[in-house]
Structure 1
Amino acid sequence: MEKQTIYLAGDSTMADYQPHSYPMQGWGNKLHLFIPDSVRIVNKAVCGRSSKSFIEEGRLEEILQMIKPGDYLFIQFGHNDSKEDAERHTSPWSTYHRYLRQYIDGARVKGAHPVLISPLCRRHFDVDGLLINTHGDFPRSMEALAVQEKVHFIDLCGRSAVAFKEMGDAKSREWLTWLRPDEHPNYPEGIEDNTHLNEQGAEAVARMVADAILKLNLNFG
């Protein structure tokens, strides 16, 4: 019997990475640690994609060709939907909904279960040490659509924001790709990245998602 499958559709914060990018990791790479062995995870997230560009590149259609009744489609976009280029840009209360509905409807037509996941919070603190919302209306808009369409929703933006606030500016760097020059051969000049997780952060965020899955009582196995 073919395994039940979770398909991941999203951006760089969810995606798998090649070894030359290590220790940068997407949380989708670590989700298997918290999911029953009876469930397969297929990570189709791609760096730099928005809800729009993922579809227009044929990536959603690729998933829909494989997905089967009882599978899940986890959908996380928002980081790149706010970009200004025409290939990726969506508006939170109009075109963002229009594209997200294509994921929802596509999964449902195949008898699969869509799950909307708000974008991972960026680690962006102001001079007073307060966390800044860099995603605008996208997280709230996604939650509103989830209610409207009666879709399971995981507020990863909210959950990760709480974690970053609790850790504070300095401690929260431990979850992101922050490296001093020559600390790692993949980043000889160092890196200070407030968006992309490292291995520790990817595992922590995957645990957040798994905890939310448990609370939603999703039917696995």
Structure 2
Amino acid sequence: MKILLAGDSTVANCPTEEFPMSGWGAHLAPHVHAWAAVHNFAKGGATTESFREEGLWQALLETAEAGDMVLVQFGHNDQKQQHLAAGAGYSVNLHRMIREIRSLGASPILCTSVERRNFHKGVPVATLADYADAVGSVAEDMGVPVIDLHDWTSKLYAAAGEDGSAAYFTQFEPGTHAHWPEGIEDNTHFNQQGALLIAGFVAERVLELRDGVSEAK
């Protein structure tokens, strides 16, 4: 079995020059290597539209076979384009992706967008809730399972608090990391620690879904 990933930078294998920045997809393989091979097609900056336009979606479909799982997580960059609003182009594109995955005999799994680290007076404030809601609506309409990363990451940040949650992201003071000599304070892109935590959660949910399918058969 293969697990194929479609998504943006929060899922992708980040370039080595951006280390320790990492998408969660880069850390999924060690959790599932005993029963599945991971193929990560995710790319930084991708939307549900650009992923198709750049040929990444076609490459994924050409790799997918019957019985494989295809995990889809977008939203961060779709949000920046009006025609890809949650209830508009974004949802339309997800519907199309699901139909195409199923046509190959593979199993689509939607992931809600991982949340950004965004606090106001110590309280987490959601930035992608409408996209998470859209995923839920599409999933219900199409009968597709959902891995709710928006909810899980929101709770993760809340539990750690405003200061503690910074440990999951790529943040360095100037002069403390060779890759980021001028410093960086990124509240979207994870570091190794954050990406590893999310990958572990995804692996648990994927295993549950795999076992559920096996039992149903």
Identify whether the pair has TM-score above 0.5, normalized to the shorter chain: yes
In structure 1, which of residues 107, 110, 115 is the aligned counterpart of residue 109 of structure 2? 115
2:178 is the counterpart of 1:181:
no
2:98 is the counterpart of 1:104:
yes
**How far apart are residue 215 of structure 1 and its match?**
3.8
In percent, how many aligned pairs have the same letter?
A: 35
2:39 is the counterpart of 1:39:
no
Moved more, 107-116 or 97-106: 97-106
**How far apart are residue 96 of structure 1 and its match?**
1.2
* 1:22-53 per-position Cα deviation (integer Å, ceiling 9, x unaligned): 00011000011211423100000000011111
Task: Show the 5 A alignment for 1:38-57.
Answer: 38-57=35-54
Q: Structure 1: 5+ residue runs without aligned partners?
A: none
2:189 is the counterpart of 1:196:
yes
Aligned partners of 2:36, 2:208: CA distance in 1, in Å? 18
Aligned partners of 1:142, 1:153: CA distance in 2, in Å? 8
Task: Show the 5 A alignment for 1:42-191.
Answer: 42-84=39-81, 89-126=83-120, 128-191=121-184
2:129 and 2:150 in contact (8 A); partners too: no
- Report the count of equivalent residues: 213
Q: Larger helix proportion, structure 1 or 2?
A: 2
AA aligned opposite 2:195:
A
Aligned partner of 1:26 in structure 2 is: 23
The TM-score with structure 1 as length reference comes to 0.92
The TM-score with structure 2 as length reference comes to 0.94
